[in-house]
Amino acid sequence: DAMVIQNPRYQVTQFGKPVTLSCSQTLNHNVMYWYQQKSSQAPKLLFHYYDKDFNNEADTPDNFQSRRPNTSFCFLDIRSPGLGDAAMYLCATSRDLRTGNEQYFGPGTRLTVT
C-alpha cells in the first residue's frame, strides 16, 4: 500500500500560472519534505515541516511556498512558475528530525511549464 502519495503524477502549467502540488502520507510521520529534482541531478531540498514548524532552505526562491494543514497532508505552491521550474517534485517523510531517520519518498510529480 502506498505510504507517501503525490498527486497529480504529471502536471502541466502555463508560464506564470500558479500551481499546487499535493502530498499525503499514511505513516503518521512528524516530518514532511519537498525536494526539487531536475534531469540527471540529485534531489535538492526546498523546505520541510517538522510538525507545524516550517523550515525554508536559504536558497529556495520566494516563488515556492508550502502549507501543511494537518499531519497527513502537505502542499507545494508555485506562485508564478517559470520555465526553469520544470522538474520532478518529490515529497518525503520521516518519523523524526533529530535521529537520522530514513526518509520515505513519494513517486513524485513531474511538472512541465509551457
The CA–CA distances, whole Å, from 89 to 61, 100, 110 equal 15, 22, 6
Identify whether 8 is preceded by a cis peptide bond (ω within 30 of 0): yes
Among the listed residues 86, 40, 92, the one whose alpha carbon sits nearest the alpha carbon of residue 66: 92
For residues 85 and 110, is the Cβ–Cβ distance under 8 A? no
User: If binding is defined by CB under 8 A, does position 42 make contact with other proteins?
Assistant: yes
- Radius of gyration (C-alpha) of the chain in whole angstroms: 13
Among the listed residues 36, 43, 8, the one whose alpha carbon sits nearest the alpha carbon of residue 23: 8
C-beta of 65 vs 95, nearer to other proteins:
95
User: If binding is defined by CB under 8 A, does position 104 make contact with other proteins?
Assistant: yes
User: If binding is defined by CB under 8 A, does position 23 make contact with other proteins?
Assistant: no
Q: Which of residues 70-99 bind other proteins (CB under 8 A)?
A: 88, 90, 92, 97-99
Instruction: Select from 41, 51, 67, 82 the one that contacts other proteins (CB under 8 A).
Output: 41
Stretch of 22-30, 39-47, 68-76, 78-86 lying at the interface with other proteins (CB under 8 A) = 39-47
Which positions touch other proteins (CB under 8 A)?
40-43, 45, 48, 55, 88, 90, 92, 97-108, 110
